[in-house]
Chain A
């Protein structure tokens, strides 16, 4: 029969071989996520003009009654500032529209030029726009859960910032940059969901965690033997 200390040491060694690399990945990815400020990751320092006042139109060409008559299946009508000017954003069961209150003209979907201007309007940096493209299908990983289509507007800054502009309401739907992308990659490594990067309730992770937990337990158990040896040795010396 092997002694408990031998069992603990052998367990710790072999479990380290099995799960050690993943534990190191957990530690390293976790360290990145806690050290880098989450507001920075969310891109808060990269944006401006995000909470602008809405102005109730004085003499609209189209009022609420007019809008609900024109869009009878509307479920929601918003007043929404776009580059400092207030527009109507109409939502129906299937579609969305951006309407100019003064003229009553439907402005959506917004074109490349307007999308770039909106991105520029919200970008707190100085760097120029280097690319704008309309994403209608197969979205990149970083906007997986967002409603399409979206304009992707890239800036030539050191964070490789991309702004995503909604062509149907003129909003800055989301912003991404290099450190966000690294964070997302670290999160993927942390939760071991290599496809969707969002599901922490996956069997691979759960299995690895069971192994990791056993590994950590064997380590703690081993500490007991490692340090009790030291104590007894000292006592013997004193004698």
Chain B
């Protein structure tokens, strides 16, 4: 079971490891960004202009206006815009602004849009340009219809989008929002619209990733043993065993005292005896082969059986990363290991 999960964990890791990293990185960046800056509210005016219908006698009643103005309307609103009373007519997908004193259709001009944007923006910067556009696009994806984009010279490169039809602020965008949006795109893996987190790519990768989590969680139990927690000093004084290292080359034997129960490979490494290994003690490369010179040779486990030929196992060869320190014993380690260690 553990061996299977280890393999699964490794291969799933290879398959989606980079996306795991991207999820964590993009998540971190998104949460580091201050949402008040991202939304542009940091620099948005909080003063709402006094909106009252003072000269109500000049208002045209709704039934005095041409009826076709209200065809398909799902909402009609008397409000103040451009400092005058207006009727805002809402339809599915479009809006119209009607001057409430003469019934004419009001559109927001470029100068009008710049004035409205200037009223709203309280940051340090002036208008540098403005241009028309059509929503939805990447920065106005929650809106629809024509807009004016008013650009400011502030450090955050603020752009305020004003609806041509209603004169209302559609969006406040800035560098903080753009950075967040880019990482949001990476986070939800919707590289075109940047808003659909129910997309099949994300669902597939998430379904694979959950196995990385489950297998990893399981492996957590098998990769720790109580000897890993000796530093907590809750198991009382620990016994040590003396391991005599014999070099298969010419080096002199050396003795080290290792804590009983600890992992042989890691314990030796902390004593500067680095047994050859590629995988770093994971039981994967089979390079940390050592010869145990002791009576009562421990049974080889599945990993060792898979990585060491039988005749060598019978001679006492085992993988250091799979062995626990038990009793005093001699250990034959390959080549010039001791010289390196000292």
Interface residues of A (CB under 8 A from B): 1-10, 13, 16-17, 20-21, 23-24, 26-28, 30-31, 33-38, 51-54, 56-60, 63-65, 68-69, 72-81, 191, 199-202, 205-206, 209-210, 212-213, 215-217, 219-220, 222-223, 225-230, 232-233
Contacts and interface: CB of A to CB of B under 8 A. Distances in A.
B227 to A, nearest CB: 13
A57 B63 contact: yes
Scoring B57, B63, B197 by chain A CB atoms within 10 A of each residue's CB, the highest score goes to B63
Contacts of A51: 74, 92
Contacts of A213: 21, 24-25, 28
Given A7-B280, A65-B61, 16 more contacts: A6-B277, A26-B23, A28-B210, A34-B188, A35-B203, A56-B76, A57-B62, A73-B52, A200-B30, A202-B31, A213-B24, A223-B14, A225-B279, A227-B14, A232-B278, A233-B285
B111 interface: no
Summarize B's interface: helix, strand, loop or mixed. Answer: helix
Contacts of B272: 1
B62 A225 contact: no
Q: Is the interface of A mostly helix, strand, loop or mixed?
A: helix
A226 B30 contact: no
Contacts of B78: 64, 76-78
B62 to A, nearest CB: 5
B235 interface: no
A64 B62 contact: yes
A69 B278 CA distance: 85
Contact of A79 (B61, B62, B210): B62
A79 B281 contact: no
Which size class do B's interface residues fall under? 35 or more
A227 B100 CA distance: 73
A75 B52 CA distance: 5
A35 B199 CA distance: 9
B27 to A, nearest CB: 6
Contacts of A76: 51, 77-79
9 contacts: A27-B206, A28-B213, A34-B188, A57-B62, A78-B75, A222-B282, A225-B282, A226-B279, A229-B284
Contacts of B274: 2-3, 6
A238 B61 CA distance: 92
Contact of A20 (B56, B79, B220, B269): B220
Contacts of A20: 216-217, 220
B33 interface: yes
Contact of A27 (B92, B209, B277, B281): B209
A24 B216 CA distance: 9
B61 A63 contact: yes
B34 interface: yes
Q: Which of B20, B32, B277 has the most CB of A within 10 A?
A: B20
B281 A9 contact: yes
A2 to B, nearest CB: 6
Contacts of A212: 24, 27-28
A205 B31 contact: yes
A170 B20 CA distance: 47
B192 interface: no
A91 B149 CA distance: 30
The interface centre, meaning the residue of B209, B224, B282 with most chain A CB atoms within 10 A of its CB, is B282
A56 B210 contact: no
Nearest to B207: A31
A146 B253 CA distance: 77
Contacts of A35: 198, 203, 206-207
Nearest to B189: A34
